[in-house]
Amino acid sequence: MKITYFVHSITEDNEKSLATGWMQGKLSEEGIKRALALRPDLTSRDFDAVFSSDLERALQSTELFFDKKFPLFIDWRLRECNYGKFDGLPAKQFKKDREQEYIQGGYPSGESYMEVGSRMKSFLSDLSRFNYDHIAIVAHQAPQLALDVILKNQTWEEAIASDWRKSQSWQPGWEYFLD
């Protein structure tokens, strides 16, 4: 199964450099504009289904990206990492060059990246039961890093170090394959 992974569009929190975590968040005006600009390309692709995180910023992006063209499944396991006490705080206070501290130990009152990986393994196990050729996922940073670990055989350290966000090399979808 081919998976094309999309990160939600720009949020008001992104523009303020805040880490939203499990908070809902909402798209900014620029985020809405960019999501709508992608729609012609994304609705012309052939997906069997779209799977989205249940957080508002992902759901908004999904609606704007795909305009209800494909069957939609909402799954909480696609949520961002729970940053616990750090949800809503400036990301640079706890993420920049410190993310590797939270691979196993977890964020205070939150979860670890390993726990996000467990959620994603559960999601992929359920997904493998569907007879789909190509699906889209709309979610967040941590689930994408988990896919790099699970499906591209990277370590968490490698996935975090090579995260496209560090080089600002965004693209309209990343491809993964589930055997």
What tens digit of pLDDT does each residue of 33-76 get? Answer: 999 999 999 999 999 999 999 999 999 999 999 999 999 999 99
User: Is a pLDDT exceeding 80 seen at residue 96?
Assistant: no
Residue 53 burial (10 A CB sphere; 0-12, 13-18, 19+) = buried
Residue spans per domain, the chain: 2-177
What tens digit of pLDDT does each residue of 110-168 get? Answer: 999 999 999 999 999 999 899 999 999 999 999 999 999 999 999 999 999 999 988 88
143 vs 51: CA distance, rounded Å: 12
φ, ψ of residue 166 to 5 degrees: the values are -65, -35
Percentage helix, strand, coil for the chain under 3-state DSSP, each rounded to 5: 45, 15, 40
State pTM to two decimals. 0.95
φ, ψ of residue 78 to 5 degrees: the values are -90, 5
**CA distances, 169 to each of 108, 120, 164, 165 (Å):** 30, 23, 5, 6
- Bridging pattern class, strands 49-52 and 2-7: unpaired
3-state secondary structure of 144: helix
Kindly give, in sequence order, each residue whose CB lies less than 8 Å from that of residue 101, ignoring residues fewer than 6 positions away.
none
User: Tell me, which fold does domain 2-177 have in CATH?
Assistant: Rossmann fold (3.40.50)
φ, ψ of residue 76 to 5 degrees: the values are -65, -25
